[in-house]
């Protein structure tokens, strides 16, 4: 049993209750989102939820739809095993991105976040300019930023010093933490930042170690993982965004990578920071080489030959895959939606509906 106030429902939200809450409606927080499907978390558990009909014709922009971290009013049905989402509370803070297209529009990433961890890998992903864009995004939404550099095990202490100096010299005033998920160095300092009742969000490119960090937090606490995610692994693999309650009472939201956040243009997104691979690919036998199984692939050859590390290669492939996700056919997307449907079903099953 967790009080709503333990989940971040403070005086600020409390003061809005009389405007929003109607008879028979309860308050809960959005804890997982995948397109039109939601999970909400209340004092005792997570429950699959759907939007009330009015959302489908009253909402003008996707910004008005509930997103991860939102506080909402709900009505339960089917013996409290399903819920309808009625109202979204005003957002205290928010993380949103500009969406692609000619018209400037915004898409929500997460709401009611106290601290955003801007995660970059020391190894390949380090880019102060991109760090700045995330910092602006956080500042715009009233969210405190903390920079987290991962994979310190892959560079020398001197190289790490250089990176920290580069951040300092570019007038970034946010706190900076450096850690390795492999050796565990710096992990305690990271964990100490987390305060119970507060909500944190991991932001950053794909492959920098966000989910590994989350798993480490869950694993080390050896907390009853049911309370952590409801279905354990299922959420990690299928839900697009999820809010996890950690053992010591803080909440953490993992987000998909940067392409999903649309911070960078399509071509820039994948190739920026991978200029060496772009150079190599000019020598692949096929101009449209995917650098996975194609014969005569200069990129694979470089990995085999040792001039390109496996880690860097797989980071590139991962980022590329993520960007390709956006060009998936409608049918493929439907397939992914179904995967989320299975996930919702497994939550229901766990609750022995
Ligand atoms: N060497 C090293 N590898 C890491 C570290 N953290 C994560 N990884 C690896 O980086 C890859 C991507 O990690 P993942 O957590 O999926 O990144 P995400 O896309 O940001 O969630 C995985 O193969 C991890 O094992 C780290 O601190 N050091
Ligand atoms: Mg991840
Ligand atoms: Zn190739």
Atom 8, ligand 1: which residue's CA is nearest? 209
Task: Summarize pLDDT for 116-135 with one digit per residue, the tens.
Answer: 999 999 987 788 888 888 89
pLDDT(25) > 70: yes
- pLDDT at position 316: 85
Atom 28, ligand 1: which residue's CA is nearest? 151
Residue 204 CA: which ligand 1 atom is closest? Answer: 20
- pLDDT at position 353: 44
Residue 215 CA: which ligand 1 atom is closest? Answer: 15
Could you say which ligand is closest to the alpha carbon of residue 278? Answer: 3
What CA–CA distance (Å, rounded) separates 70 from 117?
19
Q: How far is the CA of 208 from the centre of ligand 1 (A)?
A: 5
Q: What are phi and psi for residue 73, nearest 5 degrees?
A: -100, 140
For the record, the structure tokens of 22 come out as 């109607």
Residue 206 CA: which ligand 1 atom is closest? Answer: 19
Q: How far is the CA of 295 from the centre of ligand 2 (A)?
A: 30
**Cα 277 to the chain's mean position, in Å?**
26
Of the chain, the percentage scoring pLDDT greater than 90 comes to 48
- pLDDT at position 331: 42
Could you say which ligand is closest to the alpha carbon of residue 119? Answer: 1
All structural domains of the chain, each given as residue ranges with its CATH number in brackets, are 4-92 (2.40.50.140), 94-260 (3.40.50.300), 265-353 (1.10.40.50)
SS3 category, 120: strand
Per the prediction, the chain carries an average pLDDT of 82
Residue 93 — pLDDT band, cuts 50, 70, 90?
A: very high
Q: Using a 6 Å cutoff on CB, does residue 181 contact ligand 1?
A: yes
Residue 181 CA: which ligand 1 atom is closest? Answer: 27
Burial class (CB in 10 A: 0-12, 13-18, 19+), 255: buried
Residue 213 CA: which ligand 1 atom is closest? Answer: 15
Q: Using a 6 Å cutoff on CB, does residue 154 contact ligand 1?
A: yes
CA distances from 229 to 8, 32, 188 (A): 18, 10, 23
Residue 318 CA: which ligand 1 atom is closest? Answer: 19
Residue 205 · residue 268 · CB < 8 Å: no
- Which segment of 51-65, 194-208, 218-232, 339-353 scores lowest on mean pLDDT? 218-232
Cα angle for residues 162, 168, 170 (degrees, 5° grid): 105
Could you say which ligand is closest to the alpha carbon of residue 215? Answer: 1
Task: Summarize pLDDT for 279-290 with one digit per residue, the tens.
Answer: 888 888 887 788
Residue 83 · residue 47 · CB < 8 Å: yes
Residue 132 · residue 84 · CB < 8 Å: no
Atom 14, ligand 1: which residue's CA is nearest? 209
Give me the DSSP letters along 265-295: -HHHHHHTT-HHHHHHHTTSSSTT--SSS-T
Ranked by mean pLDDT, the top range of 8-12, 121-125, 201-205, 210-214 is: 8-12
- pLDDT at position 230: 35
- pLDDT at position 278: 81
| Average pLDDT of the segment spanning 229-240 | 38
pLDDT(173) > 80: yes
Atom 2, ligand 1: which residue's CA is nearest? 151
What CA–CA distance (Å, rounded) separates 202 from 227?
20
Atom 1, ligand 1: which residue's CA is nearest? 151
Alpha helices in the chain (DSSP H): 11-14, 17-20, 54-58, 128-140, 157-169, 187-193, 210-221, 225-229, 233-238, 258-261, 266-271, 275-281, 298-305, 310-325, 330-350
Q: Using a 6 Å cutoff on CB, does residue 255 contact ligand 1?
A: no
Q: Using a 6 Å cutoff on CB, does residue 182 contact ligand 1?
A: yes
Pocket test for ligand 1, best of 148, 207, 320 (most atoms within 8 A of CB): 207
Q: Using a 6 Å cutoff on CB, does residue 207 contact ligand 1?
A: yes
Q: Are strands 144-150 and 46-51 parallel, antiparallel or unpaired?
A: unpaired
Q: Are strands 115-121 and 199-204 parallel, antiparallel or unpaired?
A: parallel
């Amino acid at each position: 049993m967790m009080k709503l106030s333990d989940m971040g429902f403070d005086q600020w939200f409390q003061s809005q209750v009389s405007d929003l809450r109607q008879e028979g409606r309860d308050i809960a927080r959005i804890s997982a989102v995948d397109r039109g499907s939601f999970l909400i978390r209340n004092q005792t558990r997570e429950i699959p939820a759907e939007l009330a009909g009015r959302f489908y014709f009253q909402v003008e922009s996707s910004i008005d739809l509930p997103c991860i971290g939102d506080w909402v009013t709900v009505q339960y049905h089917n013996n409290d095993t399903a819920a309808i989402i009625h109202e979204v509370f005003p957002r205290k803070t928010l993380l949103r991105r500009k969406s692609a297209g000619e018209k400037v529009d915004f898409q929500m990433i997460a709401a009611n976040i106290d601290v955003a961890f801007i995660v970059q890998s020391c190894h390949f992903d380090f880019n102060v300019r991109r760090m700045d864009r995330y910092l602006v995004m956080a500042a715009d939404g009233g969210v405190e930023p903390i920079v987290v550099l991962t994979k310190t095990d892959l560079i020398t202490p001197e190289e790490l010093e250089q990176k920290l100096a580069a951040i300092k010299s570019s007038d970034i005033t946010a706190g900076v933490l450096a850690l390795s998920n492999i050796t565990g160095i710096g992990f305690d300092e990271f964990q100490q930042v987390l305060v119970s009742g507060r909500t944190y969000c991991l932001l950053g490119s794909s492959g920098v170690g966000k989910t590994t960090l989350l798993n480490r937090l869950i694993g080390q606490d050896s907390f009853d993982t049911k309370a952590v995610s409801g279905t354990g692994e299922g959420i990690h693999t299928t839900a697009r965004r999820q809010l996890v309650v950690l053992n010591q009472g803080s909440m953490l939201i993992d987000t998909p990578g940067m392409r999903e956040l649309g911070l960078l243009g399509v071509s820039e997104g994948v190739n920026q920071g991978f200029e060496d691979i772009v150079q190599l690919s000019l020598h692949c036998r096929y101009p449209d080489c995917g650098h996975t199984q194609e014969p005569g692939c200069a990129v694979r050859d470089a990995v085999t030959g040792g001039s390109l590390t496996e880690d860097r290669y797989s980071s590139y492939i991962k980022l590329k895959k993520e960007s390709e996700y956006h060009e998936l056919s409608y049918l493929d997307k439907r397939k992914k939606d179904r995967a989320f449907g299975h996930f919702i079903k497994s939550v229901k099953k766990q609750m022995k509906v």
